Amino acid sequence: MRLLVTGAGGMLGGDVVAAALAAGHECVALDRAALDITDQAAASAAVAEHAPEVVVNCAAWTDVDGAEAHEAEALAVNGDGAGNLAWAAVAAGARLVHVSTDYVFDGTATRAYVESDPTGPLTAYGRTKLAGERAVLGCGPQNAVVRTAWLFGLGGRNFVATILDRAAGGQREFDVVDDQVGCPTYTGHLAARLIEVAQGGLGGILHAAGDGSCSWNELARAIAAAAELDITVRPTSSAALDRPARRPAWSVLASERGGEPLPPWRDGLDAYLQAARALR
């Protein structure tokens, strides 16, 4: 199968390219410098030129707080850009597999969110990602939207790397929120699932996140234990952090559409730490 991966220079995109090649697929990798998905003509030209069977879109505006002050710019990438790729894929006879987020929900649920649950984003980022979902699915049922949550992996900024880097720099005390619960997801595991979705041809909305759930505080303590860090992790509240964008209190995802869940988030953490050590 021939794949085109957009956003290939990012944390998830890099792992998707690696997963595609490991599965024996032909893969064209385009980073932001090679393709600006907000440029409709460029998106159409790139898809037409490379003639993929499936486009996997990992390009996104991921600055959640920054989107509050720059919603139009975030929408151009997360909404219009996703739509540009979807239309380009349709014109080329290809499918689009698009990555979305738990932020399309309001975080007030008391059980795991499934694909059919109503959306209600609290933030500009969530609104722009929901716009992207609608643009992608509006181009045809063959396209897939894969929602995920709390990503961490090599080659990009993420919570796990932040804890490790600050501890390496000498920080010994961390105040981490305990009132946000979600599913930490290793990009290596998610990338393999995205390739499965590309291969399988299933369209519509799908959820894929690390199995199990925890708070950010619990994740920080798990990082400290697994990496044998001599640090203290204290609980704090979201209100105390006073960030521009309100985070969903509950970001646990599950799937009602069948298939195996991703590996447990603790397995993802172990895999990440092992990969990080190999790079030293």
**Domain coordinates in residue numbering, the chain:** 2-151+184-210+252-259
Which pLDDT does position 64 carry in this prediction?
Answer: 97
Which pLDDT does position 99 carry in this prediction?
Answer: 98
Which pLDDT does position 201 carry in this prediction?
Answer: 87
Residues 217/177, Cβ–Cβ less than 8 Å:
yes
pLDDT, averaged per 10 consecutive residues of the chain (280 residues), comes to 97 98 98 97 98 98 97 98 98 97 97 98 98 97 97 95 96 97 98 97 96 98 97 97 94 92 97 90
DSSP 172-214: -EEEEESS-EE--EEHHHHHHHHHHHHHH---EEEE---BS-E
Which pLDDT does position 239 carry in this prediction?
Answer: 94
Is 125 tagged catalytic? yes
Give Dmax (Cα) for the chain: 55
Question: Which one is the CATH code of 2-151+184-210+252-259: 3.40.1190.20, 3.40.50.150, 3.40.50.720, 1.10.260.40?
Answer: 3.40.50.720
Q: Which amino acid is at 267?
A: D
Q: Could you tell me which of 12, 11, 96, 110 has the C-alpha nearest to residue 54?
A: 96
| Residue 160: its H or E element | helix 159-168
Q: How far apart are CA 100 and CA 64, in angstroms?
A: 13
Q: Could you tell me which of 278, 6, 268 has the C-alpha nearest to residue 152?
A: 268
Q: Which two tokens stand for residue 234?
A: 């204290």
pTM for this entry: 0.96
Q: Which two tokens stand for residue 55?
A: 């486009």
Which pLDDT does position 260 carry in this prediction?
Answer: 87
CA distances from 39 to 54, 74, 90, 246, 247 (A): 19, 14, 17, 30, 30
Among 103, 113, 125, 272, which one carries the catalytic annotation? 125
Residues 53/143, Cβ–Cβ less than 8 Å:
no
